[in-house]
Every structure is written in structure tokens, then in C-alpha cells.
Structure 1
Amino acid sequence: MSQLPTWWFRTEHFWIDYPHWRMTPLLKRYYLMQFAYWLQQLLVLVLRLEKPRKDFTELVIHHFVTIWLVFWGYTINLTYIGNAVFLTMDVSDVVLSFAKVCNYLGWETTAAVAFSAFVCVWTYLRHFLNIKMIWSVWTQWKYVPEYSKRFEPKEGVWMVRWVQYQVMIAMIILQLVNIFWYYLILRVLRRALFGPRLEDDRSDDEDEGPDVHGKDE
């Protein structure tokens, strides 16, 4: 993202100079890897390769919407905002994974601190910044050049009004799923600060063992 004009989430550049025809090799690889990853995750859920948890429905919704946004954003040359969304998701997952490792190793204090940090990162990235991007879709559409506000796939321009609504609705759905997970995260945080151990609120069997949970993607 540092190679793009959207660095530091300058959201107006999601739309300025659209369509964004050129993608750096790194960005293109990142996009395709994201698509492959989420497709694999969806197949795991659909084929029931893992034991379903309590948030199975939310996971399926999340994965379907994410795959659609990745595919659609790549198709219509709307990759800058897609890259920004990826960043908000991936960074929070790294912190979550670290907290889980600490918990598995039995480092309860470190796990609690790491999970608290994860909650802060999740709140900022998955809610504040994502809501900022949703607001950008609604209010900064005006920055799309007038010649691009038409549906001409052969020319690489797709920015008619219904595309705006489609992108915004999909992002709102993701935000609602994240809010549901945020509720579960706060429950785990309460246990981390005031209880004996961290456990996964999604587990159907509480005896399966301790786990740190925010979202398992």
C-alpha cells in the first residue's frame, strides 16, 4: 500500500483517476493470493472439512461476500479500495495469531496482553477504518472522473450508480459480520482480564481446550 497514493488511507484516491488500469506486480500477486486464500477457506466450510462452530453461518456469509468483492474489484479496476480492506483484515489477524500462540504455550499473562492489543488493533482497523471506507464509497464517489461514470466493460470503466450501491452494501454486510465477531471478542477480553483463561466463544464443546478467539479465517 505504501507504493500507492492511498497510503495512510487517503480515501479520495480510491476514486481519483479511475480506472486504475496499472497494478504493480506485487499488488497483482497480493490480489490473486487473496482470491485463492478466500476461495480455499470457503471450500473448507462448504465441504465441512473442519468441525462447524457457532459462527458457521457468519463465516459463510463473510467468505462469500469477500470473494465477491475481491473478484468484482479486480474485474472493474477498483483495486485501491480492495487493497486497503485487505490490509485492515490481515494486520489484525497477525496480532490474533500471536495471542493464540501465547495462549497455546500457556503464557497466560502474555496472551492476555497480546489479546488486549489485538482488540485495540481490531477496533481501529476493522471498525474505524472500514467505516471510514464505507463513508468514502458514499460521499467521495464525486471524485470519479465524469468520463468513467458509465458502464463500458470493453473500455474498462464501470462506475455507474448501481455499482456504487453494490460495493457499499457488500462492505456494510462485512461490517455487520465484524460487529458480531467484535461482540464475541469483547466477551473473550473480559475473560482474559478477569477470568482464569482464554476460550473460544464459538466452540460447541467447552472441554475442547483453551483458545484465543477474535475471528478464525
Structure 2
Amino acid sequence: MILGLSDWFWQERLWFPKGLGWADLEDRDGRVYAKAGDLWVALPIALAFLIIRQIFERTVATPLASLLGIKDTVRLKAPHNPTLESYFCNITKTPTQTSVASLCKKTGLSERQVQRWFRRRRNQDRPSLLKKFREASWRFTFYLLAFIAGLAALIDKPWLYDLQEMWQGFPVLTLLPSQYWYYMIELGFYCSLLFSVASDVKRKDFKEQIVHHLATILLISFSWCVNYIRAGTLIMLLHDSADYFLESAKMFNYAGWRNACNYIFIVFAAIFIITRLVIFPFRIIYCTWVYPVTIYEPFFGYYFFNGLLMVLQCLHIFWAILIIRIAVRFLTNNEKVDDERSDKDETDESGEEEDEEGVKKDTKKNGPVQNGHTVHNNNHSKTE
């Protein structure tokens, strides 16, 4: 049954234009072609990336964070309470005032104690600035090196300048060593992101990120199997060209360098819009959708490949809306750049618990407290 399913899946009429097939991609006369079996190499590469990431975050990212004044946040743990824990996990993390009153009756705690418990419990799950900085540092390093390596591999290739060259001689296109390693490293990296997604910082676009990783892995794998490698290398280079700017903006944001973060983000927004809303749909997708049908009749693989590209483009539009909203707010109101993908729960409130006892003491000395801050005597002149 498995053999029959494999034969059906790999039948030539699905993946190749009429008259062409797997026999055309067999190595001969010193010419080497991509093979589906090569993709297994991405799994050990993904495992190696996970190990390298742990070493990088400990030996490079953490000392760099310390140099920039970023410290790991000490979280105060909420005391064990089965009733509140059940409500927190199964109903909501932010109970209403009515729900708080109901929980007070069930637990015998005061409203302040219940609110403090939920605040501490939320803080336990929040990623620290150090964790965010290390994650951004790792991605920044990879995207920058991947972009440089991709540019070096493609700088002398004619299809970088004339996109129609992507299809000259298709599918009998010889595989170059630089293309092999570019593909395997990119595929291995995105597999490692998929493996580590459970432990990485979760944001509002978590589901979109999963879809993006899966679509990217499928796109890279499929384009490899049917020798769409020239198109694949261009698509990977295009995506890597903006991502390292975003990760560097995050790093400066976590370090408190607001101006650097803001202006790097504007550069990222400009590059993102140009590459993914202009070049990608009107150059890359146009060339993969329109030009091939002038050479051969459409087939399943043609529609499958372009369908994956359209999925990526929809994600580009979704993220572009968030990016433009942030950029416009910064340019018009001179507000700081904040990642709209971040949940409100990511706001670090741990200081509230740590300072509560101090607030009580300050209240006795300095008077009442408003909105969590002590009200001091302001009846003095500005010169004082």
C-alpha cells in the first residue's frame, strides 16, 4: 500500500511538464541534479542549528545583553491555589471584577490577594527581556549571514538580473554546490524554527508564523524536488534581505535604544514593502505564473508551486498592515516603535509585585497612592 501510494505521489504527470520526467534529472556526463533524497540532510542540519543556537545564546547573546544592561527578570511565583489555577488555565488569565468577587468567596482571599495572584501567575509565563533579546540575536545573526551567503552565491548568476533565465532549459538544470548548501542550510534553519516554536516567544501572529514556516518548508522542498532551484534561491534571498533589519530593531528595543530601534524599523519597513509587496508579487510571482506557460502546458506542480507563493503573499500583506500601522504612528506622532504582534501579557509587570511592600511604606510617609505611584508634595517651584 505504501509503495503504491509513493508511486502515485511521485508520478511524473503531477510534477513535470508533458514529455519530461525523473529520467531527465538522472546524473550523467558529470552533471549533477537535485534529488528528493537529498532533503533528509536538512534534519541533522536542523538538529545542529538547535545545538548551535543554545551555545550561541549562552556564549554570545547573553554576554552581549549584559554589556547592554539587559538582565534576566526575577519572577515572583504565585502561591499554589488549585481553584485559582483551574480558573487561570481553563477560563481566563484576566478575570473581571465580578469573577474576582466570586473567586474571593470560593478561596477566602481578599480581592487584592486574588488580583495579585493572577498578576504574579501571568508574570510567570511572560518571557523576560533577556529571552527575547537572545532569540532576536540568534535570528539576526542567521538572517544576516544567510543574506550575505545567498548574495555571494547569486551575484554572478544571470537569473538574478533577468528573471526569465530561471526557466531556460527547465527542468534539466545542473545543480551547483553553492545552491545545494544554500538550500540545505535554509531548509534546516526553518525546520529548527518549527521544532523550537513551543519554547520560543509567542506573539499574536503565532498561528501565522506556523503557517509561514510550513509553507516555507514545503516551498523549499518542492522546488528542490522538481528543480525549481533557480526560482527558490531568488525567493530565499528576497526574504532574507529584510529580516535581519527587523531582528536588529528588536535587539535595540530590548536594550532601550529607542532612537536606533525606531529608525532601523523604518528602514526595515521600507525594504519589506519594496521586496514583498512589489518585487515578490510583480516580479517573482509574475515570472513563475505567466512566463512558464509560454514554454510548456500547465501541470499540477505548476499550480502547487504558485499556490504556495500566494500563501506567502497573503502572509506578507497581513504583516505589512501591522508594519505600516506602526510606521505611520511613529512618523506622524513620533511615538516609539512597539511590536503590535506582542500580546499585552508580554508587558513586564514583575516590578509591581516587587514594589508593593515599598509602596505601602511610602504611602505612610508621603500620602496616598494613585495608579500605583506615590503622590508627592508638588507645592514647590520648578527651580527647586
Q: Which bracket does the TM-score occupy, shorter chain normalised?
A: 0.7 to 0.9
Distance 1:62 1:207 in 2: 22
Distance 1:53 1:139 in 2: 37
Partner of residue 321, structure 2: 183
Distance 2:172 2:336 in 1: 48
Q: Are residues 1:200 and 2:339 paired?
A: yes
The 5 A counterparts of 1:88-103 are 88-103=238-253
Distance 1:114 1:51 in 2: 21
CA drift of 1:111 comes to 2.0
Partner of residue 14, structure 1: 166
CA drift of 1:103 comes to 2.4
1:61–1:139: structure 2 CA closer, same or farther, 3 Å change rule? same
Which of 220, 232, 236 is equivalent to 1:82? 232
SS state of the match for residue 122, structure 1? helix
Runs ≥4 residues deviating over 3 A: none
Q: Are residues 1:56 and 2:217 paired?
A: no
CA drift of 1:139 comes to 1.1
CA drift of 1:20 comes to 4.8
- Whether the aligned pair in 2 keeps the contact of 1:20 and 1:78 (CA below 8 Å) is no
Q: Are residues 1:136 and 2:275 paired?
A: no
Letter in 2 for 1:202: R
The structure having more radius of gyration, on CA atoms, is 2
CA drift of 1:110 comes to 2.5
- Whether the aligned pair in 2 keeps the contact of 1:39 and 1:67 (CA below 8 Å) is yes
Letter in 1 for 2:230: Y
Letter in 1 for 2:224: Y
CA drift of 1:91 comes to 0.9
Gaps of 5+ in 2: 1-153, 349-384
CA drift of 1:178 comes to 1.0
Distance 2:337 2:274 in 1: 22
Distance 2:287 2:301 in 1: 14
* Higher alpha-carbon deviation: 176-185 or 111-120: 111-120
* Higher alpha-carbon deviation: 128-137 or 185-194: 185-194
Letter in 2 for 1:76: V
Kindly provide the CA deviation profile for residues 94-131 of structure 1, in whole angstroms up to 9, marking residues without a partner as x. 22123223323333222222111111100111121110
Aligned residues: 193
The alignment's TM-score, normalised by the length of structure 1, stands at 0.81
Gaps of 5+ in 1: 150-159, 210-217
SS state of the match for residue 199, structure 1? coil
Distance 1:113 1:166 in 2: 39
CA drift of 1:162 comes to 1.6
Distance 2:180 2:213 in 1: 20
The 5 A counterparts of 1:84-123 are 84-123=234-273
The alignment's TM-score, normalised by the length of structure 2, stands at 0.47
SS state of the match for residue 134, structure 1? helix
- Whether the aligned pair in 2 keeps the contact of 1:14 and 1:80 (CA below 8 Å) is yes
